């Protein structure tokens, strides 16, 4: 039994201390000098580096999760009127004009006639209000003589550039007068066709993409057309009232023409063969049309100078009047001088007899486009 009492004392000291039968229950030496194996070790017994490691880990975690933000400056923050300013993108003035902020030309004027526009540039879109809405400074009105002079100067630059581009192709130079008249618009339309732009007899607006394309061109390219699949070809564009002549992929001539008027339109063609040539040597080269005859030779009323027929009675022929709009009864007119240049190139200028031999003439005709008057 004594052995049992000792075991009980070691496992549950609080119970043993209340037992009157246990002679060792209140022994001071046993209670104060024998530590229990289940007591928590003193804090000083933990390794010092454990606490240090935990602190370091906590600090590193806090540093790596801290967010980093960058604030982009507002490009319009310092402009005079942000409601009147846009930021240019890759479409330049064209893209801004498309959203109803004035024409390309009016935007060019409003922004001080710049020679170019880069992506990110600020553009004043409140046109002709007398204020530079970027800086707040006064701005010229669009009817100011300085503005009108700048517009005329740009037209002169266009005319000079057109003369340079068309000079190799036998084209009569434009007058460099700063007036964007029908002849300048006709030449601009022909340049657009050669440069692969949309054909139009509209003005060339400063600051536009096509304006930049014109001035960037080093030469006038051959128009893209099935016409170039032929050895020798003519391409008549009714939109521009223009005739391109070439061999294969090479452009040889570029002439103004006048095609059939309303009700007598020159019919569309795709490599139609020229089948007849009449030098009309008995009448000085002037063939009197059987369909539209005249009593007296008169190139304004039916007579055809040395015609090349490509579709029934429709022909390419010389005339003394070649306006920059449709005026014929279905033929394509050239000036007499340009008709002779064409015939000389074909080797037919000195022919004395009419020929119906296609292989001898060796020329195809394409007719494209539609004339839309301003």
Q: Where are the alpha helices (DSSP H) in 68-208?
A: 92-98, 104-110, 145-166, 182-195
User: Do 336 and 247 belong to one domain?
Assistant: yes
69 versus 359: the higher-pLDDT residue is 359
Tokens 């022919």 belong to 351
* Element of type H or E holding 5: helix 2-11
User: Per-residue b/e over 8-45, b at no fewer than 16 CB within 10 Å?
Assistant: ebeeeeeebeeeeebeebeeeeeeeeeeeeeeeeeeee
User: Do 257 and 372 belong to one domain?
Assistant: yes
Asked whether residue 51 is domain-assigned, the answer is no
Question: Exposed, middle or buried: residue 93 (CB in 10 Å: 0-12, 13-18, 19+)?
Answer: buried
Q: Using DSSP bridges, classify how beta strands 332-335 and 269-273 pair: parallel, antiparallel or unpaired.
A: unpaired
Asked whether residue 28 is domain-assigned, the answer is no
Q: Give 159-170 pLDDT, tens digit per residue.
A: 999 999 999 999
**Percent of the chain beyond pLDDT 70?**
77
Asked whether residue 189 is domain-assigned, the answer is no
Q: Which of 143, 158, 182 is the last residue of a domain?
A: 143
Give the number of domains in the chain. 2
Asked whether residue 168 is domain-assigned, the answer is no
User: Do 271 and 365 belong to one domain?
Assistant: yes
Domain that includes residue 278, residue range: 222-374
User: Do 135 and 234 belong to one domain?
Assistant: no
What's residue 295's pLDDT?
Answer: 54
- pLDDT over 50 at 11, yes or no: no
Give the least confident one: 38-52, 121-135, 304-318.
38-52
> Minimal CA–CA distance to 86: which of 110, 115, 113?
110
Asked whether residue 300 is domain-assigned, the answer is yes
What's residue 56's pLDDT?
Answer: 43
Q: Give 55-90 pLDDT, tens digit per residue.
A: 444 444 455 556 666 666 788 888 999 999 999 898
What's residue 172's pLDDT?
Answer: 97
What's residue 63's pLDDT?
Answer: 54
Q: Which of 97, 112, 143 is the last residue of a domain?
A: 143
Asked whether residue 170 is domain-assigned, the answer is no
Structural tokens at position 307: 């015609």
Own/partner pairs, 138-144, CB within 8 angstroms, 24+ separation = 139/110, 140/109, 142/106, 142/109, 142/110
CA distance 120 to 92: 10
Asked whether residue 366 is domain-assigned, the answer is yes
CA distance 273 to 311: 8
User: Do 270 and 136 belong to one domain?
Assistant: no
Asked whether residue 13 is domain-assigned, the answer is no
């Amino acid at each position: 039994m004594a052995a049992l009492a000792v075991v009980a004392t070691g496992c549950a000291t609080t119970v043993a201390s209340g037992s009157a039968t246990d002679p060792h229950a209140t022994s001071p030496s046993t209670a104060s000098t024998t530590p229990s194996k289940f007591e928590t070790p003193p804090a000083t017994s933990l390794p010092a580096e454990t606490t240090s490691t935990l602190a370091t880990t906590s600090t590193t975690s806090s540093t790596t999760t801290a967010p980093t933000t960058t604030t982009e400056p507002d490009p319009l923050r310092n402009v005079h009127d942000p409601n009147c300013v846009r930021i240019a993108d890759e479409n330049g003035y064209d893209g801004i004009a498309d959203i109803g902020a004035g024409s390309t030309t009016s935007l060019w004027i409003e922004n001080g006639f710049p020679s170019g526009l880069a992506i990110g540039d600020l553009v004043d879109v409140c046109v002709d209000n007398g204020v530079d809405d970027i800086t707040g400074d006064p701005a010229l009105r669009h009817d100011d003589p300085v503005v009108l002079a700048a517009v005329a100067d740009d037209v002169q630059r266009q005319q000079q550039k057109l003369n340079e581009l068309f000079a190799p192709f036998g084209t009569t130079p434009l007058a460099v007068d700063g007036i964007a008249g029908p002849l300048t618009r006709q030449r601009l339309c022909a340049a657009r066709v050669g440069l692969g732009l949309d054909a139009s007899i509209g003005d060339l607006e400063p600051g536009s993409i096509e304006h930049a394309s014109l001035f960037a061109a080093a030469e006038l390219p051959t128009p893209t057309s099935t016409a170039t699949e032929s050895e020798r070809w003519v391409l008549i564009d009714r939109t521009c009232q223009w005739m391109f002549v070439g061999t294969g992929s090479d452009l040889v001539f570029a002439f103004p023409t006048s095609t059939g008027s309303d009700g007598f339109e020159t019919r569309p063609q795709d490599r139609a063969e020229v089948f007849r040539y009449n030098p009309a040597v008995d009448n000085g080269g002037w063939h009197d049309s059987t369909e539209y005859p005249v009593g007296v030779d008169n190139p304004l009323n039916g007579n055809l100078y040395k015609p090349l027929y490509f579709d029934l009675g429709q022909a390419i022929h010389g005339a003394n009047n070649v306006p920059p709009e449709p005026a014929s009864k279905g033929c394509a007119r050239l000036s007499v001088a340009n008709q002779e240049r064409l015939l000389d190139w074909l080797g037919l200028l000195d022919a004395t007899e009419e020929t119906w031999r296609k292989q001898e003439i060796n020329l195809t005709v394409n007719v494209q486009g539609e004339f839309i008057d301003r």
